[in-house]
Structures are given as structure tokens and as C-alpha cells.
Chain A
Amino acid sequence: MAQLSPFAAARPEEILLPAKPWFVLFTLLCGLVANSMPVSGVMLLLKPDFLALVLLYWCIQEPRLISVGIAWCVGLLMDVSDATVFGQHALAYAVLAYAAEYFRRRVLRFPLWQQAAQVAVLLLGCAALVLVIRVVGGAPPPRWTYGVGPLVGALLWPLVTVVLQWPQRPRRSSER
């Protein structure tokens, strides 16, 4: 029971090492590349916003490092690489970062699957904001499958957490 499993999230009593800025940057870049992955068909419907997911993770875990400003800049990059309206992702990510900062203490109290439920709400809110921006800008409403991506993203939350936490788990030579 007390055994530390490397394939689970860190428990509250486990003290994590501080995240290295280059690692944070690297994961954000990975998210950007994953987002610009060219897919079509069913995969396109299922594809979550990886960058939003990674960003949300860092906003919740390392609010000193990543907050509204950085999220906004990352959103601008996403807008440029996506060739959509300039500023839509920037606004959405900034709001997402703010929401993450507001809710982070609450989110962190729960086990991973319950965190995922709250993350689903945050990601859906982010997607809804993009929807409002675009529809106000004159775009037609998308298909109902628009909401699938954020939900898939929330399902990936435990995985993202475990993977991104990996480098910050203290290594103990004498693990039982």
C-alpha cells in the first residue's frame, strides 16, 4: 500500500522537485507539434487540444512558471501555426490559465480520475469560448462532434499528469 509506484500520480505527501523551465518549454513545444499533426477522418474528431492540456497541467502544477502571460503567447503561436483567426487561441488559453490558477488548489485535492472530470469542465469551457469567438465572427456552427475533443483530452489527463510528473519525482536509491 505504501509502495511508491512510478506509474501513478505523486501522492500529496510526496514532495516534487521543481520543474525545469527547459522541460516545460519542451513539453509545450511537443504539444504544439502534436496539435499540428495532420490527421483526417475519425482521428480528427477525436483529436484533443494537446497544447491546452499540457498548458493546463503546468498552470495547475507550476503557477509561478506558467501563468496567463505565457499562456497567451503560446496561444498566439498556436494561432499562427493553425492559420485561423489571430487571437482566438490566445484569448482562450489566457482564460484557461486564469481558470486553472483559480481552481488549482481545489483540483489538486482530488484523485486523478476526479481531477479529470474537473479538467473536462475547464477544457469544454475553453472550447466553448473559441466557439463563441468564431460564431460571433461569422463562422457557421460546427458539428456536434466539436465537444468530443475536450472530453478525450480530459480522459488523457491522468496519463499527461503521470508523464509530465515523471522527471520531478525524487529518485530514492533505497526504494522499498
Chain B
Amino acid sequence: MRHISLEPPPFFHRGPSPLTRLAFFGLLSLALLFADTRYRYLENVRQAVAVALYPIQRAVLLPGEAFGYVGAYLASQRTLASDNAAVRQQLLAQAPAMQGFPLLDQENAQLRALLKMAARFPEAATAAEVLYSGRDPFSQKLFVDKGDVAGVQIGQAVIDEIGVVGQVTRVFPYMAEVTLVTDKDHAVPVKVERSGLRSVMYGAGAARLPELRFLSPNTNAEIQTGDRLVTSGIDGTYPAGLAVAQVTSVERETGQVFARVTCKPLAGVERDGQVLILSRAAVSLPRPDEPAEADAPRKGRGKRRN
């Protein structure tokens, strides 16, 4: 005797319920999230995908570029003339400094040679154009049109005509990713131009201004609102003396030993068209030995001395 099949006909058969599937895939993606934030095992995959996607991205960019070219071509004579005049004036304004510069440069080189110091600024630099800003709203990135092929390397400093923009953090064959100084926990060693006080500027993401950390407690008087911060050059990444930011507020609370100092980046960190990628200094300093309490200052933000 044949039994009647208890299974539903295949028409109704739809696999596990949506909730089961959601739980399965949810757990899977949580595992992936954890593994990626913890171990960063995907860099190579990303590199390959970036190379594969590059032609598509350029193709998608084309209409916008064409539009830009046409717009620039049709720019009126008057705009061009006024731009030209402005640039000439700027050039003239910089003339005294520029004419004195070769002499100073020579003097400086001689003095440095005398003292057997390495040249401060790297010789070569690559001009690059900003392609687009990063899509991830949680990080501050920029993509420029020079990459491995043009000799760009990870760790090179990127500046514009006003100051430091950021640092090259990923290099693809035809483009490079620049992490801006406003990216969270991006550290730039700086010093106050006026007083020479050293500190480290930490980015705090898009919504907040960067902060200074590692100020020693009794030097609070040497920093005030409006001070310019320049790179101190102690990290070997950023050459010394590049403008970075301006102090916007110094909050001193009676209960706190350290002042809370926020600053505003000077360079057009989010509205640049062209940037300059500085090649690294030919001879970088040897790394100092790690001190015993190397990571002690890491938790030093709220640290108090009792």
C-alpha cells in the first residue's frame, strides 16, 4: 500500500524561513566584521579589486571630466584675464621673498653642510590631481591620480599650497589613497610656531576638530588661541616646518591638569584640486630603541599625577 507523501509539493518548497536565513547570514557577517577589523586580511583582495575596478571608475568619471573641460573651454575671456591679473599680483607680492630665497637657501645649505646635517626638504615632489573624495562617511580619505607607476609610496606626505593635507596610505598602480589629517587618530607631530612647544595633533573625524595631545602639564601658557602649528619633523614622515593648523580654542579646566586644545587644519583639506606628494627624505633617521614604557602615553589623555 502506498503512503501519501507528507512533504509539500515542490512548488511551495522555499527552503529555510527568512528569519533562519537572516540569523545565519547575520552571524556570518558579524564573524567577517570581527575578523576584518581584527586581522586586516583583506588588503590583497582589495588591491586586486581596485585594479579591476579602475577602468570602470575612469569610464564613469569621463562625462564629468568632459563637462569640466567644456566648461573650462567656454570660460569667458574676462574671468581668465582677472585670474591672470590676480596670479600676477600674487607673484609680485611674493617677489621679495623669492629673490632673497636663493641666497638664503645657499647659506642654509652651506651651514648644514658645515654641521653635517641632512637636507631638510626632500628634493623631488610629484604633483597630483585629486580624483574624488572617499565614499566612506566614517573616514577622511582622498584619491589622487598618481600611483605606483609614478613612484608614489606609502607614507609620503601630501601638501597643498597652504599646508599639510595628509599622508599616502594605500598605493594602487594608477592612483593613491591619501588619509587626511582630519581622519580619526591620524597623528601629526607638530610644534607651536611662536613658542616652539612640541605636541602631536590627532584627527577626530569629520564632525569634530583635531586635538592636541601629549602637552606637558606646565607648558600650558605657551599655547594660545590663534597660534599656528607647523610640523616638527620628529617622525621622519612630514618634513619639518610645514604649516598644519591653527589653534581655535584652548580650554583650561581647573580640575584638569591638561588643557584641551582644538585646532583647525589650514590646508584646503576637503576642497583641493591639486596636491603635491613629497618624496621621503633620502636618509631617514634610524628608529630609536623602544623605551620600556612605550605605550604609556597612549592612555595618557585623562591621566593625572596624584
Hey, which bits of chain A sit against chain B, CB under 8 A?
33, 35-41, 44, 47, 64, 67-69, 72, 75, 80-88, 90-91, 94-95, 97-98, 101-102, 133-134, 137-144, 146
Query: By the criterion CB–CB under 8 Å, are B45 and A90 in contact?
Result: no
Query: By the criterion CB–CB under 8 Å, are A143 and B207 in contact?
Result: yes
Q: Given the complex, which residues of A lie within 8 Å of B46, measured CB to CB?
A: 80, 83
Query: By the criterion CB–CB under 8 Å, are A137 and B61 in contact?
Result: no
Interface segment, one of B50-58, B111-119, B279-287: B50-58
Q: Given the complex, which residues of A lie within 8 Å of B143, measured CB to CB?
A: 38
The 10 closest A-B pairs by CB, nearest first: A140-B205, A38-B132, A87-B32, A91-B29, A86-B36, A139-B138, A87-B33, A87-B29, A40-B133, A142-B137
Known contacts being A139-B139, A142-B137, is A36 close to B56, with CB within 8 Å? yes
Cα A133 to Cα B19 in complex, Å, equals 20
Query: By the criterion CB–CB under 8 Å, are A137 and B37 in contact?
Result: yes
Interface segment, one of B20-28, B219-227, B259-267: B20-28
Query: By the criterion CB–CB under 8 Å, are B26 and A94 in contact?
Result: yes
Query: By the criterion CB–CB under 8 Å, are B14 and A95 in contact?
Result: no
**Which residue of the partner chain, among B29, B33, B135, B208, contacts A44 with CB atoms under 8 Å?**
B135
Q: Given the complex, which residues of A lie within 8 Å of B64, measured CB to CB?
A: 39
**Which residue of the partner chain, among A82, A95, A101, contacts B136 with CB atoms under 8 Å?**
A82
Known contacts being A38-B132, A139-B139, A143-B207, is A80 close to B49, with CB within 8 Å? yes
Total A-B pairs, Cβ < 8 A? 119
Q: Given the complex, which residues of B lie within 8 Å of A139, measured CB to CB?
A: 138-139, 184, 205
B42 within 8 A of partner (CB): yes
B192 within 8 A of partner (CB): no
Output the least CB separation between B168 and chain A (Å). 15
B257 within 8 A of partner (CB): no
Q: Given the complex, which residues of A lie within 8 Å of B212, measured CB to CB?
A: none
Residue of B nearest to A94 (CB): B25
Output the least CB separation between A5 and chain B (Å). 30
B18 within 8 A of partner (CB): yes
**Which residue of the partner chain, among B14, B53, B207, contacts A81 with CB atoms under 8 Å?**
B53
Query: By the criterion CB–CB under 8 Å, are A142 and B207 in contact?
Result: yes
Query: By the criterion CB–CB under 8 Å, are A98 and B136 in contact?
Result: no
**Which residue of the partner chain, among A40, A85, A95, A102, contacts B33 with CB atoms under 8 Å?**
A85
B98 within 8 A of partner (CB): no
**Which residue of the partner chain, among A75, A91, A98, contacts B19 with CB atoms under 8 Å?**
A98
Q: Chain B interface: which size bin?
A: 35 or more
Which residue among B30, B32, B35, B204 has the maximum number of chain A CB atoms within 10 Å of its CB?
B32
Known contacts being A39-B132, A67-B21, A142-B137, is A33 close to B56, with CB within 8 Å? yes
Tell me if B's interface is mostly helix, strand, loop or mixed: helix
B175-193 CB mask vs A (1 if < 8 Å, else 0) is 0000000001000000000
**Which residue of the partner chain, among A37, A86, A141, contacts B60 with CB atoms under 8 Å?**
A37
Q: Given the complex, which residues of B lie within 8 Å of A98, measured CB to CB?
A: 18-19, 21-22
Q: Given the complex, which residues of B lie within 8 Å of A101, measured CB to CB?
A: 18
Query: By the criterion CB–CB under 8 Å, are B21 and A33 in contact?
Result: no
Which residue among A39, A98, A140 has the maximum number of chain B CB atoms within 10 Å of its CB?
A140
Query: By the criterion CB–CB under 8 Å, are A95 and B22 in contact?
Result: yes
Known contacts being A38-B61, A81-B53, A141-B207, is A72 close to B29, with CB within 8 Å? yes
Output the least CB separation between B43 and chain A (Å). 10
Residue of A nearest to B208 (CB): A140
User: A90-B29, A91-B26 known; 11 other A-B pairs, CB under 8 Å?
Assistant: A44-B133, A80-B45, A81-B53, A86-B32, A87-B29, A87-B32, A98-B18, A101-B18, A139-B138, A140-B207, A146-B137
Q: Given the complex, which residues of A lie within 8 Å of B200, measured CB to CB?
A: none
B127 within 8 A of partner (CB): no
Q: Given the complex, which residues of A lie within 8 Å of B91, measured CB to CB?
A: none
Known contacts being A91-B30, A95-B22, is A36 close to B207, with CB within 8 Å? no
B131 within 8 A of partner (CB): yes
Known contacts being A33-B60, A87-B32, is A143 close to B18, with CB within 8 Å? no
Q: Given the complex, which residues of B lie within 8 Å of A67, measured CB to CB?
A: 18, 21
Q: Given the complex, which residues of B lie within 8 Å of A75, measured CB to CB?
A: 29
Residue of A nearest to B204 (CB): A140
Output the least CB separation between B40 and chain A (Å). 9
* Interface residues in B49-79 (C-beta closer than 8 Å to A): 49-50, 53, 56-57, 60-61, 64
- 21 CB contacts below 8 A, A to B, read A33-B56, A36-B60, A38-B132, A40-B130, A40-B133, A67-B21, A72-B28, A81-B49, A84-B136, A85-B36, A86-B32, A87-B30, A87-B33, A90-B32, A91-B30, A91-B33, A95-B22, A98-B22, A101-B18, A102-B18, A140-B207
